[in-house]
């Protein structure tokens, strides 16, 4: 793998790394020289990504992980430190959603979305912080959403979880800055990844639109009239992990073509 050298010597954990944005981030970090630990519930997918990275000359391990379970997260960090020699960067990307009106949402579904998206990020942060604080340096990047800053019908639980993630980012950034740790969020709009496909399917099932019509209706929300590519999010995550970005802290950076401006 032809490394750019931007992250040489760094070890990064990426959750939800088997597909979409997480996969793109894992590949981009490896290309930048980082050793990467890939986490997801779907072991087969992350094994495939890790094999792709290793075949290109990078270093990667795959650790089946459910971020909603503290013991599973603790194992992820333990495996990373033992096999890759430490941890310097955490990318909280794992997340789930469901297109359901609040009035019709089952409590179990609400709790599962909050547990995965918000509490899962908290568990991962708690597990890596002792390592980052001890070495007095680190980067924590949370993949949030433009729904961390706005609302969207049928996305109440997801939006609430991502608003929570952004609040966590802002508070944590103040707590750990004295350790030379930065904490930021990236807030993508509709992205060519799994959640866009799921939302299209949901609209098709509820309205009778064709998949093409449903996708067009969603991306029409963007002034650029397009979906964001996962690689656009990945390149920003790499930048936020470098020393060049050391002054960026406690921010929620939109990558959405101008859909949300804040």
In tens, the pLDDT along 216-245 reads 888 888 999 999 999 999 999 999 999 999
Which residue numbers are catalytic? 158
Is it the case that residue 196 has pLDDT exceeding 80? no
pLDDT given at position 3: 59
203 band by pLDDT with thresholds 50, 70 and 90: confident
Structural domains of the chain in order of their starting residue, each with its CATH number: 11-189+229-249 (3.40.50.720), 190-227 (no CATH)
Q: pLDDT at position 142, please?
A: 98
CA distance 10 to 226: 34
**Model confidence band, residue 1 (pLDDT cutoffs 50, 70, 90):** low
Residue 123: per-residue pLDDT: 98
* Res 97: pLDDT: 93
Q: What is the mean pLDDT of residues 3-29?
A: 95
Q: At what angle do helices 230-240 and 20-31 cross, to 10 degrees?
A: 50
Q: pTM of the entire structure? A: 0.94
Categorize the per-residue pLDDT at 207 as very low, low, confident or very high, splitting at 50, 70 and 90.
confident
| pLDDT tops 90 at residue 128 | yes
Residue 169's SS3 state is helix
Which residues 6+ apart lie within 8 Å of 100 measured at CB?
A: 109, 154, 156, 157
């Amino acid at each position: 793998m032809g490394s750019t050298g931007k992250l040489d010597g760094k070890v990064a954990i990426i959750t939800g790394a088997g597909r979409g944005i997480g996969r793109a981030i894992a590949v981009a970090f490896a290309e930048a020289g980082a050793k990467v630990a890939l986490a997801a519930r779907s072991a087969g997918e992350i094994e495939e990504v890790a094999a792709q990275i290793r075949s290109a000359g990078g270093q990667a391990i795959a650790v089946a992980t459910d971020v909603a379970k503290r013991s599973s997260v603790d194992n992820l960090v333990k495996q990373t430190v033992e096999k890759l020699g430490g941890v310097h960067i955490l990318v909280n990307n794992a997340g789930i959603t469901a297109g359901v009106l609040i009035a019709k949402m089952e409590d179990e579904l609400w709790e599962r979305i909050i547990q995965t998206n918000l509490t899962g990020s908290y568990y991962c942060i708690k597990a890596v912080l002792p390592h980052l604080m001890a070495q007095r340096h680190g980067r924590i990047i949370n993949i949030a959403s433009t729904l961390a800053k706005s609302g969207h019908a049928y996305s109440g639980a997801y939006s609430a979880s991502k608003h929570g993630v952004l609040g966590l980012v802002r508070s944590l950034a103040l707590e750990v800055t004295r350790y030379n740790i930065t904490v930021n969020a990236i807030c993508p709009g509709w992205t060519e990844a799994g959640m866009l496909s799921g939302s299209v399917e949901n609209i098709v099932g509820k309205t009778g639109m064709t998949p093409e019509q449903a996708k067009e209706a969603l991306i029409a929300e963007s002034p650029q009239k397009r979906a964001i590519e996962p690689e656009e999010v990945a390149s920003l995550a790499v930048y936020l992990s470098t020393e060049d970005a050391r002054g960026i802290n406690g921010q929620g950076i939109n990558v959405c073509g101008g859909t949300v401006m804040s």
